[in-house]
Structure 1
Amino acid sequence: MIRIGANPICWSNDDMPEIGGDIPLEQCLSEAKAIGIEGMELGNKFPREAAALRPILAFHGLDLVGGWSSTFLLERDAEAEFAAARAHIDLLKTFGCTVFIAAECTRTVHGTRSAPLSARPVMTDAEWDLFNARLTAFAERLAGEGLTLVYHHHMGTVVQTEEEVDRMMAGTGDAVKLLFDTGHITWAGGDAPTVAARHRDRIGHVHVKDVRPEVAREAAAADWSFLDAVLAGVYTVPGDGSVDYIGVMKALPAYSGWVVIEAEQDPKKAHPATYVKMGYDNLTRFMTAAGWKRG
């Protein structure tokens, strides 16, 4: 079963809260529901207590998909990471979520506007061995809670490139699944359909955003930060950039789960409801063309 969700970063940014900071959560949820979105991931404007969050989502008829969790497995072991994630785990379980979105944020630069992407952290061989072992152990602990760890490769972090995604997947156990993000892998220089096909059996969650290649080239040439590139419009919604979405979907013929529109832009330049509607319409068209069936 395939369901279409959205991330509130389309309306209000988490890494730079002033982007869309004036847009209330009510507007985000009501516009998402009107577009046809079935569920939302967490954002900075969402309450993190189940008693407060449940009536908000229920009022809009939206499910909770899940939400980002920053891991620091290069700095602490799986047991300490699990303890740090306890409240998030409990919230996800309360709402019947099935995936735990994790991204390693040790030394990350993606949230620092003054740091160019060229300054991102790169792991040593010893750090790779440590990270993969701890990520596997953390994922196995989460499986015991009924949650599947889906790892979010991301620009500016230690797992950014196609080669790094491959190394992580090769070095971790089956409890670790991949959150495949079409925009991050494309901007990092990877070929989205190829990477999707290579890891199809372990892809447990999908984020869809598109890339404007001319902005990505300018960002590389001028050594921009991640946030400066986002503000300049490097990302957009599916069908408004260079990603081959039909190719990606055909590479994942047996995929079942959430497909989440997560296209961070400056809402002053890209009206959120207009762009998410565009992305939703393009996405459903691509799904039909690729033979994907919605549940």
Structure 2
Amino acid sequence: MTTDSTGLRIGTAPDSWGVWFADDPRQIPWQRFLDEVVSAGYTWIELGPYGYLPTDPHQLQDELGSRGLKLSAGTVFTGLHKGGDQYQRAWDQALAVAGLATAVGAEHLVVIPDLWRSDATEEVLESRTLDDEQWARLAAGHDRLGKALLEEFGVRQQFHSHADSHVGTQREVERFLTETDGRYTNLCLDTGHLAYYLGDPLRLIGAYPERIGYLHLKQVDRDILAETLKNDVPFATAVARGVMTEPPTGEPPFAPIIEAVSAIDPSIFAIVEQDMYGTDIDRPLPIARRTREHIFGCTRLARQD
């Protein structure tokens, strides 16, 4: 295995072990998750849902440090298109998550928009699309949040487009980037979620290279995706059916994306995040090992540290 010191830093996340919620009896215990990350060969991880890993920064640092692990980012959830008290809701999360993440060295906050269809109950919560006023609130809210995160914590906001959210298609992602300020709001390019709506990560990278701040690596199964879109299957059900599949069996290929982003900025993180909520807890570790081997075998522009 040959790597290049200028390549992207490769890591993984609780999501690749089926973790979507801070507390769910079906999920793998956090201690076992951390141990299996090490066994799979990764150094970098994300925080996952706040409260899954220890929230005391000293305990978290001890748990990570004793295993040789490091934190790349935390995650918050926002509904800034709704206005009202949504900015305060986002900021309250940010105070907790960014405070914890930066205390152990992370420099990024992945921000996921609220879904129009619940990933917990599959209930339709609101319209699938935003009007111009909602788009304006969404963009202004994220720029305000990103500016505050940078000034308060020195952490960078990375917006994550998502299936069953208002920012999912390539056109929607491009509109979001056009209406936001790159000083405060950039993109966590999730290859699987963009491909979920038939987007092209390489074309997006080529069109907006200065806005790519972070990567999530995942692939979609083309056949399951076709049925998902045809039958309007909720995202959570699609995940249970395996729409996010083990690399390299799905799309898009990782090597061209890693190499294109590495040419922009080799300090960017590329975090494996295979949605596997509801999976048997013994299943993720072998997949994580094979995925890491695939990534480091398909490109020289990948590194562990």
TM-score with structure 1 setting the length: 0.89
Q: Secondary structure at the match of 2:98?
A: helix
Distance 1:25 1:181 in 2: 24
Distance 2:159 2:227 in 1: 28
Match of 1:188 in 2: 197
In the alignment of these two chains, the number of paired residues is 290
**Equivalent of residue 246 in structure 2, options 222, 237, 261:** 237
Distance 1:16 1:87 in 2: 14
- Alignment of 1:147 with 2:158, yes or no, is no
Distance 1:275 1:25 in 2: 18
C-alpha offsets along residues 69-108 of structure 1, whole Å, 9 cap, x if unaligned?
0012123364663344212221122112111111221x53
Match of 2:13 in 1: 7
C-alpha offsets along residues 209-260 of structure 1, whole Å, 9 cap, x if unaligned?
1110111111122221111100000002332212122222343212322111
Match of 2:273 in 1: 262
User: Is the CA contact (8 Å cut-off) linking 2:255 and 2:295 kept in structure 1?
Assistant: no
Match of 1:49 in 2: 56
Distance 1:150 1:183 in 2: 16
**Equivalent of residue 169 in structure 2, options 145, 161, 166:** 161
User: Is the CA contact (8 Å cut-off) linking 1:100 and 1:148 kept in structure 2?
Assistant: yes
Match of 1:112 in 2: 120
Match of 2:29 in 1: 24
Q: Which amino acid aligns with 1:94?
A: A
Identity fraction in percent = 23
What are structure 1's unaligned runs of at least 5 residues? none
User: Is the CA contact (8 Å cut-off) linking 2:259 and 2:299 kept in structure 1?
Assistant: no
Which structure carries more relative contact order (alpha carbon 8 Å, separation 6+)? 2
TM-aligned CA deviation for residue 292 of structure 1 = 5.1
Distance 2:32 2:170 in 1: 36
User: Is the CA contact (8 Å cut-off) linking 2:43 and 2:304 kept in structure 1?
Assistant: no
- Alignment of 1:273 with 2:285, yes or no, is yes
**Equivalent of residue 126 in structure 1, options 126, 133, 142:** 133
TM-aligned CA deviation for residue 66 of structure 1 = 1.5
Q: Which amino acid aligns with 2:176?
A: M
Match of 2:45 in 1: 40
C-alpha offsets along residues 180-236 of structure 1, whole Å, 9 cap, x if unaligned?
000000011101211122222111110001110111111122221111100000002
Q: Secondary structure at the match of 1:3?
A: strand
Distance 1:116 1:77 in 2: 19
Q: Secondary structure at the match of 1:206?
A: strand
Change (3 A) 1:238 1:100: same
Distance 2:187 2:173 in 1: 9
Moved over 4 A (4+): 15-20, 77-80, 291-295
What are structure 2's unaligned runs of at least 5 residues? 1-5
C-alpha offsets along residues 27-86 of structure 1, whole Å, 9 cap, x if unaligned?
211121122211211234312221332221122111112221001212336466334421
Distance 1:85 1:16 in 2: 16
User: Is the CA contact (8 Å cut-off) linking 2:74 and 2:98 kept in structure 1?
Assistant: no
- Of stretches 188-197 and 249-258 in structure 1, the one that deviates more from structure 2 is 249-258
Distance 1:129 1:36 in 2: 43
TM-score with structure 2 setting the length: 0.87
User: Is the CA contact (8 Å cut-off) linking 2:77 and 2:113 kept in structure 1?
Assistant: yes
